[in-house]
A and B are shown apart, each in its own frame.
Chain A
């Protein structure tokens, strides 16, 4: 076996990673990991507000993978047979917690998402609140499975501007990653 599991385990531990999940994600994954995450945050003595914030960013990010990952197993989107692929990391750096997720996107979807993130990244909390309230009252895009509020919600709760990266993979896919520090 070429993959060194112990090395992987030690490395992520050294990096302050509390959680690491890679693979197919369903709503049950969100519920299950979420439950453990809540207990874990309690044991980390994070404080209720921080724990709630980490949990909410975790949910928004997992739902983004669930709804928008371009990598899926199973064809039927109506049945619960379809799974979305992505990767989740939750960790600590110094006093802060972070939620870091990644998934594949179609290259054609990159510009629109980049624009949406950039448009809110450096807004202050009052501006974010105003735009959040405005978006909450708009009717959703027909191509959007969520309310389109997730990114704004994360930016409102983040301690620092959202970090993100688009890494082109080939002529079809880009790997998108987003990190929110709490």
Chain B
């Protein structure tokens, strides 16, 4: 599968999905004008990618400083897809990275974690820059 790379803008994150490294990265801010529309091709890619997995390890790494409510819905959808794939035996791990001072991001991570059953969801709090 081809990589999926989307550069960041002021209101949308950097997306780097690399099948070779089995790494899906989303970094930055997310409050696009229309989150469902912005993420539609991203979720399409994820769907195709998960379908062709056969038990390999996949790491999902996210560091989101801020995201709006409609992005939250898209992320839930994304995590649910990963959760379903994990239920089918794929070794997927989600690492939700947040700065120790970003209480909102930590709390949001906890709320996602509460709603997932199969996929390991790690909240990784870091200090400094």
Residues of A near any B CB (own CB < 8 A): 27, 30-31, 34-35, 48-49, 52-53, 55-56, 59-60, 63, 66, 129, 133, 136-137, 140, 145-147, 149-150, 152-153
Contact = CB atoms under 8 A, between A and B. Distances in A.
B33 A136 contact: no
B120 interface: no
B73 A149 contact: yes
Contact of A59 (B31, B80, B102): B31
Interface residues of B, number: 23
A149 B68 CA distance: 9
Interface in B15-40: 31-36
A140 B102 contact: no
Interface of B: 10-11, 31-36, 66, 68-70, 72-73, 76, 80, 101-104, 111, 114-115
Contacts of A136: 72-73, 76
Contacts of B115: 133, 137
Contacts of B11: 27, 30-31
B70 A31 contact: no
16 contacts: A27-B33, A52-B66, A52-B104, A55-B66, A59-B68, A63-B70, A136-B73, A140-B36, A146-B69, A146-B70, A147-B70, A147-B72, A147-B73, A149-B72, A150-B69, A152-B69
B31 A30 contact: yes
A69 to B, nearest CB: 13
Contacts of B101: 48
A85 to B, nearest CB: 16
B33 A66 contact: yes
B33 A63 contact: yes
Contacts of B102: 48, 52
Given A31-B11, A133-B115, A147 B69 contact: yes
Contacts of A66: 33
Nearest to A80: B33
Nearest to A153: B69
Contacts of A27: 11, 32-33
Contacts of B103: 48-49, 52
**Which of A27, A34, A147 counts the most chain B CB atoms within 10 A?**
A147
A56 B111 contact: no
A35 B10 contact: yes
Given A133-B111, A140-B73, A147-B70, A56 B104 contact: yes
A39 B125 CA distance: 24
A145 B34 contact: yes
Contacts of A137: 76, 80, 115
List the 4 closest pairs (A to B, CB-CB), nearest first: A149-B69, A147-B73, A147-B70, A31-B10
Contacts of A49: 103-104
B35 A147 contact: yes
